[in-house]
Structure 1
């Protein structure tokens, strides 16, 4: 899918020549072990680097220059996956071959070099006023989770299930950690990211691979770096308590249930767990939707998700507080039915079709191709839709039953209004 070379120790360049898109897409990903402090600093850093640099210290001038480059899109973001924190620079620009002038790609690469290696410094550090402004933006982003009750409930459940673990650390850190960021600490975080992070550089488009490779090697002069050790984390069940009910000013209740599974991303049983999740609750044909929502009318929505890097399965539902006990009961019944092998051919076939369609849809976009290759590249095999379609097709009802039987209930979290129900276990 992508051809890969190492341009420096710990720095990989992945290029895919394709006529599928009329644009050229770049994605540069800096990775290091996820901690609260680093997440806070690097989220602020991505905002600071996105809006100004040494050549364009004012955001308006930077955006104007991007417009001049035929509407080139360039932005930075922070995210997490597994035990990694990632800062990503994404770029999408027009392909030179569709233009009368053919310097745009070179200009875009020069601008990428500027954004990365020529930050907006005063006296060898970031500008204090810009840092403070972007800190406020990240704090607002973190605070926004409190306004979205579904996201808040999911965040609280994960905190209860895996305290002080990458699963419960936000990609933006915490408000307290963001407030502690200074111009000095941010400058140090920048130099650490440029010089120490593992880096993957992706390019996808109708390009001359050899010529572009040489341009990027010259422009992105990253040095050799050593592997950063990951702090040890405890993956065994460490849920603080089995049941939690919190109350806020709201009407609809948010019932979130967390399970653990020994099966994680990339392991032999991973495709089986994907099918289990689809049969159990991931789609509109799944047991949770069809029974909790449709048959019993207990929920506004009900679904499951599989967090494969952490070995966790979540059930989320929006319910009337008075229906809490019944909803928990019916959710439990659906898991037990799957554990007992009560699985229809329709549930299996629709789940397999949905997984294949989702994969194909993701590959319809350049960013989707980059993200999928980035996720699957470490499995030591050539990624293809046919390979995964074949793996899913071989999963049996007995396999799904086995996956369901390995689930372990860890925590139930219920967020309800102040006039809502009491403890469901009473």
Structure 2
């Protein structure tokens, strides 16, 4: 994997480029980063989708689609996520690399211009967005909320986060609330857009073989026309839990859900974050993990049982699907596996196979342009960007003693149970 080049092109606006000659395509992503807040999350989420539906130069979806088709079938998308106490709106454009275009046409310049059009010159009705487009995007967001409620695994994890982080911004969903989405108007959405242009932090990523200079120039010129005052981004990390909060919810379902949230006392950019990441994988991140082999396979207490580490918040999740009669047994079995790790019960085989699995997952991201984009965008708040080789070397250097120390720092914060009525 190639290393990344980073330039500041405006106040709070950073242009990052990675040159890779293996692909015939390129990708540009504009990440708009703001604090995750209850008052603005829903409006920001709605705006994210509306911006890629049209722009002043291409005022409806049909005309915009024709433009994308003329650029050798280019693609324009939007996505929304949260990272720690930050909300990230992403506008992405992908297409063929410049070297494959006819007559010296620069696809990177065209797509950068199109992205700037959606961002800086959206299709407006005076000082308001077009109502029909707002309504279409509102309906899609509300459908997304319904779909997440119907997927009980996603719902249970969301409820764990909501209860565990109720006094933190992280407890807010990435799209806010259904009530917040319903309350947004075309006029209030215009105010949201204006505020983002002035106060958000922008991280732009260019992945491709051709020079990124033309794309960078387009964005630099566009941002030079905007008076900016970027907001400070913060992230609250709670190091340990003083007590355990048990939350139980009942509804009609066939399979109960048990989700446990632990504070790890480790988050980026701490030096021990890789030890915690590997410890989490040994616990429940691979097919050879303790939770999979012992709790699921040997004891047959769960339909699935895995762990995941959020490096921004320093939270480790254990997520399982359980028969209602086995909830208490499953919780005790999970805690026993953690206690075993804390006492040093980790074999060389478990460590070696987990390191290989983790590094293989790193390498798999290097197979596509989108994977490389995801690799680097996931490190925006880590303090520095690392290549796969650099991070793999750090993972391989983690010792058993460091894994045991990481396990000893775990403190159980919240246990959420969703069971049948």
1:246 aligns with 2:261: no
| Residues 11 and 198 in structure 1, CA contact (< 8 A), matched pair in contact too | yes
TM superposition score normalised by structure 2: 0.93
Of 102-111 and 281-290, the range deviating more from structure 2: 102-111
Q: Over residues 339-389 of structure 1, what are the superposed CA-to-partner deviations in whole Å (9 max), with x where a residue is unaligned?
A: 110101111001111111111111222222223223335545562223222
Task: Say which is worse superposed, 22-31 or 200-209, in terms of deviation.
Answer: 200-209
Residues 88-99 of structure 1: pairs in structure 2 closer than 5 A: 88-99=90-101
Deviation at 1:272, TM superposition (A): 0.5
Matched residue, 1:49: 51
Contact 2:10 2:223 in 1 (8 A): no
Give the Cα separation in 1 of the matches to 2:235 and 2:372: 32
Q: Structure 1 pair 416/300, CA: closer, same or farther in 2 (3 Å)?
A: same
Equivalent in 284, 301, 304 of residue 301 of structure 1: 304
Quote the Cα distance in structure 1 between the aligned partners of 2:52 and 2:93: 11
Q: CA shift at 1:163, angstroms?
A: 0.4
* CA distance 1:53–1:227, shift in 2 (3 Å): closer
Structure 2 match to 1:383 = 386
User: Quick one: which of 33, 37, 51 aligns to 1:31?
Assistant: 33
Residue 192 of structure 1: how far off its partner (Å): 1.2
**Structure 1 pair 376–319 and aligned structure 2 pair: CA distance change class (3 A):** same
Give the Cα separation in 2 of the matches to 1:198 and 1:188: 17
Range that drifts further, 224-233 or 87-96 = 224-233
Give yes or no for contact 2:241–2:412 (8 Å, CA) kept in 1.
Answer: no
Structure 2 counterpart of 1:177, from 157, 177, 180: 180
Q: How does 1:1-80 map to 2 (within 5 A)?
A: 1-80=3-82
Aligned-pair RMSD on alpha carbons? 2.1
CA contact (8 A) 2:259 2:320 kept: yes
Q: Classify the secondary structure of the residue corresponding to 2:179.
A: helix
Q: Could you list the runs of 5+ residues in structure 2 that have no partner in the other structure? A: none
Equivalent pair of 2:84/2:235 in contact (CA under 8 Å): no
- Find the residue that maps to 1:125 and give its secondary structure: coil
Q: 1:239 to 1:321 in 2, by over 3 A?
A: farther
Aligned to 2:137: 134
The CA deviation at 1:104 is: 5.2
Distance 1:381 1:122, change over 3 A: closer
Residue 341 (str. 1) matches residue 353 (str. 2): no
Q: How many residues align?
A: 418
State the distance in 2 between where 1:349 and 1:188 align: 53
Equivalents in 1 of 2:354, 2:306: separation in Å? 14
Aligned to 2:116: 113
Unaligned runs of 5+ in 1: 419-426
**Paired position in structure 2 for 1:368:** 371
Which secondary structure state, in structure 1, belongs to the residue aligned with residue 14 of structure 2?
strand
8 Å CA contact retained: 1:50, 1:76 = yes
**Kept in 2: contact 1:161–1:239 (CA 8 A):** no
Aligned to 1:103: 105
1:411 partner SS = strand
Q: Name the CA distance, whole Å, in 2 between partners of 1:118 and 1:378.
A: 29
Q: Is the 8 A contact 1:17 1:204 kept in 2?
A: yes
Q: Distance in 2 between matches of 1:258 and 1:379?
A: 22
Query: Does 6-15 or 376-385 show the bigger shift?
Result: 376-385
Give yes or no for contact 2:240–2:264 (8 Å, CA) kept in 1: no
